Amino acid sequence: MAMTAALRVFYTALVAAAVPFLHPDPALIRSNELTEHLPAPHGLYYALLGVWERFDTLWFLHIAKQGYDRPLAVIFYPLYPMSIRLIGRLMPAVVAALLLSTVAAFFFFWGLMRLAGGLSGVGKLRMLLLISVWPTSFVLFAGYAESLTLALVVWAVILGREARWPAATICGLLAGMARPSGVLVCIPLTVMALRSRQARSILVALTPLGWLGYWAWLRWSGRVSVVEAYRRYQGMNLVSPWKGLAETLRLIVTKHDSLLAIKLCLVVGVTVVSLRRQAPAQMQPQLRIEDKVFALAVILQMLMYTGRPLLGAARYLLMVYPAFLAWGACTEHWKGMRLGFNLAALGVLNLAWMWAFLNWSLVL
């Protein structure tokens, strides 16, 4: 709770202080959707709230108010805007969005600490520090669906390990309604259910219904599918992971795309940390097979698009909770200088992404 409160205050103060120095290109703003009625870029309201209205946040606020009245809106899953609409009856919608993300970030951090039960207090704190400075981790406190999805995923895993199958299933079902990658939590839940050999664990078979229900509603209502919307409006085609990886490498080599190279390095790093063999005597908590399979599934899903490969990869990697558990275990044996270097390097990337986000110069 202290970490969540401190980060909420830090990002709010930092963004408010940055407002006088933001000079976004009007052409960049107009090239984005839903920018016709942005708040005036001055005054206290803008410094505290309006400045957060960027990119995906505009879509979530629009869907909360108007519903799925535009074809591109279908790529934004319904749980987060539905929650904004519900809470927004008591407060302005943007306040509801930021409050929801902040509360969800608290449950995500708490869930990570529960999963990292084998770590010392120092290890848990270092794990939270690493995820707090991860590039694009500021979106956990922005009007994005990341923190809500992450909280639902980690608590589905926790509840599954405690054999509380109805609650785990509900969390998993809701995760599939929050983001496309949320449905992948059905993989660790299925592994745990099979291992438990409990008849009531069959409930986890219902986990994909949130994701499937949304896709079925799109078809029933005559709207374009999510895959088609990505192809038609985002220029992204669904392909096999190896084809997505091949295009990523091609663009890095032929176009000298340094940002894409950074994203790929982050993906490789998280993959190695998540899947490498651990030393039982030194690495606690031990990653289980369901953790590693989930991490691999999330990473492969990120590679399954061409046209704009690894779009949003840095923030999508926040979903790979096993990497942060393993990383936290590693840091227990790190000296202060090594830890400080890693925190500083990741923190600089996070703030650079945040500056680009505020200046409308980078789509996350």
Count of other CB atoms within 10 angstroms of residue 81: 25
pLDDT for 224 equals 96
- Is the confidence at residue 282, as pLDDT, over 60? no
Q: For residues 11-39, b (16+ Cβ closer than 10 Å) or e, as one string? A: bbeebeebbeeeeeeeeeeeeeebbeebe
pTM of the model: 0.95
**pLDDT average, residue stretch 194-209:** 95
Helix (H, G, I), strand (E, B) or coil at 238: strand
Amino acid, res. 111: G
Beta-bridged to residue 237, according to DSSP, are 306
Residues 178, 152 contacting (CB under 8 angstroms): yes
pLDDT in tens, 49-95: 999 999 999 999 999 999 999 999 999 999 999 999 999 999 999 99
Local confidence band at 190 (pLDDT 50, 70, 90 cut-offs) = very high
- Is the confidence at residue 279, as pLDDT, over 60? no
- Of 29-38, 261-270, 277-286, where does the model show the most confidence? 261-270
| Closest to 60 measured CA to CA, from 31, 33, 27 | 33
Local confidence band at 120 (pLDDT 50, 70, 90 cut-offs) = confident
pLDDT in tens, 210-221: 999 999 999 999
The H or E element spanning position 277 is none
- Is the confidence at residue 284, as pLDDT, over 80? no
| Closest to 232 measured CA to CA, from 223, 241, 245 | 223
